[in-house]
Amino acid sequence: MDIYKSYTDNIRSAITNDSKRSKSNLNFSGPSAYSNDFQKAELRTRLLNETRQAGPLRSLQDIVDELGLQPNFNQKLGLHPDFAHLKNTGNIEKHYVHSMFIDIKRSTNLFKRYEPETVLIITNTIQRAAIHTCVIFGGYIQRLHGDGMFVYFGGKNQEPSEAAKRCLTAASMFSYFVKNDLRNIFSEQGIEAIFTRIGVDHGENHDVVWAMAGISEISEITTCSLHTSLAAKMQTHAESNGIVVGDNVKKLVPSNLYRPVCQRTGQEKDRYIFTIPEEGFYYTQYDYDWMGHLKQLEYIITNPLQGTINLKRRDSANLKQSANLAPIAALSKPYLK
């Protein structure tokens, strides 16, 4: 996907300039070798510094501009702005939340092939792509888990169904990036591809308690809810590069993109992620067709021959030309329509 091109370019640059890939040149000495080492060090420094910048890389900024979004890339970890006033208090509030847990697998294997600095650039770039994607669509980064993360969607001024749609869009886009763009890079290197698993669930107002967890500055504003916990549990039931969502999400955003997990596994026990039999509570988990979700977005264009998707750009030049032709077309009203 073109919107992640800047991220994949950085990863390719880090891999290309990794010293472990140049072992055959270790016995070569002279000015050229020194110059080459200097250039590699300079590139590595630039890439590391870039991973620390708050805003998105160039290619992902395109989708921000195209959709007219105003994401806040300066948010604080574990401090949802709508509930920040609970910090250092014993107060609680009840309010809905969409919880998303992203787990990235096999990144540890990168140490077999690359230097730690290269692995740092790769994993930070992947995590940064996840952060930017979630923030662009209204997510709040709650916690970082190695190179994975936990994210909240929704707030006091947003309808739950709208927040759910944005959450699913962010999860779908990141899944595409990992399954396709990243896989292409690692396939070129002949190494086992990294993959992601994502769990998403929605807790309604009466089911979610917001409060401070921890002490003083060793704390975060977090939620206590069955559905917060289930998001993390659901990702363990997802297939490689899959998304598993809870029944509450399906009710908020009804479509034909859901399939009970048990249909994939062939195990009826996988139909429910959580049960309380004595209360008649059986909570279903679903595989979510994230590729189908992306194809339904009006700003995404699909290439059926290559099986790829890209951002559909507004053609301002054609719009301007159409406006200039309007007076001429008006002379022939059947064509004006």
What's 63's domain CATH number? Answer: 3.30.70.1230
Contact 124, 107 (CB under 8 A): no
Output the CA–CA distances (angstroms, integers) from residue 129 to 4, 142, 173, 288, in the order listed: 8, 16, 10, 21
- Which tens digits make up the pLDDT trace of 168-199? 999 999 999 999 999 988 888 887 888 999 99
Out of 133-142, 266-275, 294-303, pick the least confident: 294-303
Contact 155, 133 (CB under 8 A): no
Question: Coil, strand, or helix at residue 166?
Answer: helix
Q: So what's the pLDDT on residue 26?
A: 43
- What lies within 8 Å, CB to CB, of 10 at 6+ separation is 47, 50, 51, 57, 121, 125
Question: Coil, strand, or helix at residue 275?
Answer: strand
DSSP, residue by residue, 64-121: HHHHT----TTPPTT--GGGGGGTTS---EE--EEEEEEEEESGGGGGGTS-HHHHHH
Instruction: Note the helical H segments in 177-252.
Output: 183-188, 226-235, 247-252
For residue 79, give its domain range. 2-336
Rounded to whole angstroms, how far apart are CA atoms 173 and 276? Answer: 34
One-letter amino acid for residue 298 of the chain: E
Q: Is the pLDDT of residue 160 over 60?
A: yes
Question: Coil, strand, or helix at residue 330?
Answer: coil
Rounded to whole angstroms, how far apart are CA atoms 47 and 260? Answer: 42
Of 137, 160, 99, 129, the residue nearest 299 (C-alpha): 137
Q: So what's the pLDDT on residue 169?
A: 97
Q: So what's the pLDDT on residue 140?
A: 97
CB-neighbour burial class of residue 169 (10 A; exposed 0-12, middle 13-18, buried 19+) = buried
User: How many structural domains compose the chain?
Assistant: 1
From the CB of residue 297, how many other CB atoms can be counted at a distance below 10 Å?
16
Rounded to whole angstroms, how far apart are CA atoms 241 and 230? Answer: 18
Q: So what's the pLDDT on residue 230?
A: 98
Contact 199, 230 (CB under 8 A): yes
Output the CA–CA distances (angstroms, integers) from residue 133 to 18, 114, 225, in the order listed: 27, 26, 25
Q: So what's the pLDDT on residue 28?
A: 38
Structure tokens of 239?
A: 């297939």
Rounded to whole angstroms, how far apart are CA atoms 276 and 273? Answer: 11
Q: So what's the pLDDT on residue 24?
A: 37
- Which tens digits make up the pLDDT trace of 15-45? 988 887 655 344 434 444 444 565 667 777 7
What percentage of the chain reaches a pLDDT higher than 70?
84
Rounded to whole angstroms, how far apart are CA atoms 93 and 241? Answer: 34
Q: So what's the pLDDT on residue 3?
A: 86
- Which tens digits make up the pLDDT trace of 238-252? 999 999 999 999 999
User: pTM of this prediction?
Assistant: 0.86
Of 159, 153, 155, 156, the residue nearest 137 (C-alpha): 153
